[in-house]
Amino acid sequence: MRVLLWHVHGSWTTSFVAGDHDYVVPVTPDRGPDGRGRAQTWDWPASVREATPEQLRDEELDVVVLQRPHEIELVREWTGRRAGTDLPAVYLEHNSPTGHAVATEHPALGVDALRDTVIANVTHFNAMAWVCGQHPTRVVEHGIPDPGPRWAGDDPSLAVVVNEPVRRTRVAGSDLVLDLAGDLPVHAYGMGTDKLGQLAERAGRGGLSRRTCHDLTQAELHDRLGRHRAYLHPYRWTSLGLSLVEAMTIGMPVLALASTEAPEAVPPEAGVVSNDLGRLRATARRWLADPDEAARYGGAARAHALRRFGLPRFLADWDHLLKEATA
């Protein structure tokens, strides 16, 4: 098939475009949010083509994968077709509701052209939480290419990956990172982590590394993460961060809050999932002092991630869903 989708989430899209289809990604001169084009820090296959809004008018498209509400209008403006009516569509929902957890209507509701469009959620938590009315819903859990067992754990510290940790303090759990950094070594990766370092300095949280790493390729990030003893996933409210899945896949033991989908994604043998910060801190201290125990948890994490979040299952699920949408 020829699939239209916007480059919204780089890691997720990297997995999606590994399939057997042709993929068209919009590109604009500024490569802004609605026209990023091909990835710059991920290795995408030649089957991913860029197209300007003008070129999209002449594209022979089979299906569009929507990911944001305003893309419904962009499809009409840029292709001259209506998503869900003239052009088969799937609405992919990456996120958990940002409004009331049990009363937030999905943005596809009320769009007449999308009334029969499948809403595909990346977690069962999302499928449960969103109000989707009569829309058919599916769950296609994350899948990632195997980066290989990269965990060495020779750096006795915790790693966390978060973009814009200061702006997203409560959601991302940045305040919890600062708390743990009061007496534990923590290294944060992602855009805006320099600002988190400044907060740590003012708060006297000396355990947070001052180094900032926001421009690494995916392979470089995996190599860096693998040096740390364990991975910390402090998000209070998120769908299911791909960084958590990637950390498990490279063989890292993980610490996570017991919120949204994390309790389902991380089995007991792969790490500790708890809302008790004291328990997370105690486990981190134990792993930092005992690399052998950390290695056992990390090995189990990798085995679980390969079984549950492998790329072949992910691509097969999407093939089935795209065929359903275009039938």
Same-domain status, 13 and 77: yes
Of the two residues 305 and 167, the one the predictor is more confident about is 305
Q: Are residues 127 and 256 both part of a single domain?
A: no
Q: In this structure, is residue 28 part of a structural domain? A: yes
208: confidence class by pLDDT, cuts 50, 70, 90: confident
Backbone angles phi, psi at 168, to 5 degrees: -105, 35
Q: 160 and 54 in one domain?
A: no
Alpha-carbon distance of 9 to 7, in angstroms, equals 6
Q: Is there a single domain that holds both residue 191 and residue 218?
A: yes
Q: Is residue 149 part of a domain?
A: no
The confidence score (pLDDT) of residue 98 equals 87
Residue 78 located in a structural domain: yes
Does 137 have pLDDT greater than 60? yes
Binned at pLDDT 50, 70 and 90, residue 113 comes out as: confident
Which pLDDT belongs to residue 284? Answer: 98
Enumerate long-range contacts of 200-208, CB under 8 Å, 24 or more apart: 203/178, 205/178, 205/179, 205/181, 206/181, 206/182, 207/180, 207/181, 207/182, 207/183, 208/177, 208/178, 208/181
Q: pLDDT class for 322, splitting at 50, 70, 90?
A: very high
Q: Stretch 217-222: mean pLDDT, rounded?
A: 88
Kindly state whether residues 170 and 79 are assigned to the same domain: no
Residue 182: inside a domain: yes
Listed range (48-57, 92-101, 202-211, 294-303) with the worst mean pLDDT = 202-211
Look at the chain and report how many structural domains it folds into: 2
Rounded average pLDDT over 237-247? 94
Q: What is the DSSP string of 157-182?
A: EEEEE-SSTTTTHHHHTHHHHHHHTT
Residue 315: the pLDDT is 98
**What's the confidence (pLDDT) of residue 118?**
96
Quote the pLDDT of residue 206: 57
Task: Tell me: do 20 and 74 sit in the same domain.
Answer: yes
Look at residue 274 and give its three-state secondary structure. coil
In a domain, 49, yes or no: yes
Looking at residue 138, its pLDDT comes to 97
Together in a domain, 107 and 219: no
| Whether residues 47 and 166 fall in one domain | no
Task: Tell me: do 160 and 300 sit in the same domain.
Answer: yes
Q: What's the pLDDT at 213?
A: 62
Residues 20-47, mean pLDDT to the nearest whole number: 95
One domain for residues 162 and 298: yes
Look up the CATH number of the domain holding residue 227.
3.40.50.2000
Which of 91-100, 211-220, 231-240, 269-278 is least confident?
211-220
Spatial contact of 175 and 160, defined as CB atoms under 8 Å apart? no
Predicted structure pTM score: 0.91
The predicted structure's pLDDT at residue 197:
66
Looking at the structure, do residues 193 and 317 belong to the same domain, yes or no? no
Residues 43-88: tens digit of each pLDDT: 899 999 999 999 999 999 999 999 999 999 999 999 999 999 999 9
Per-residue pLDDT, 321: 98
pLDDT of residue 168: 77
Secondary structure class of 321 (helix, strand, coil): helix
pLDDT, mean of residues 20-44: 95
In a domain, 150, yes or no: no
Confidence of residue 209 (pLDDT cuts 50, 70, 90): low
Q: Is residue 220 part of a domain?
A: yes
Question: Does 230 lie in the same domain as 316?
Answer: no
Provide the domain limits for residue 207: 155-308
The tens digit of pLDDT for each residue in 262-274 reads: 999 999 999 999 9
Residue 148 placed within a domain: no
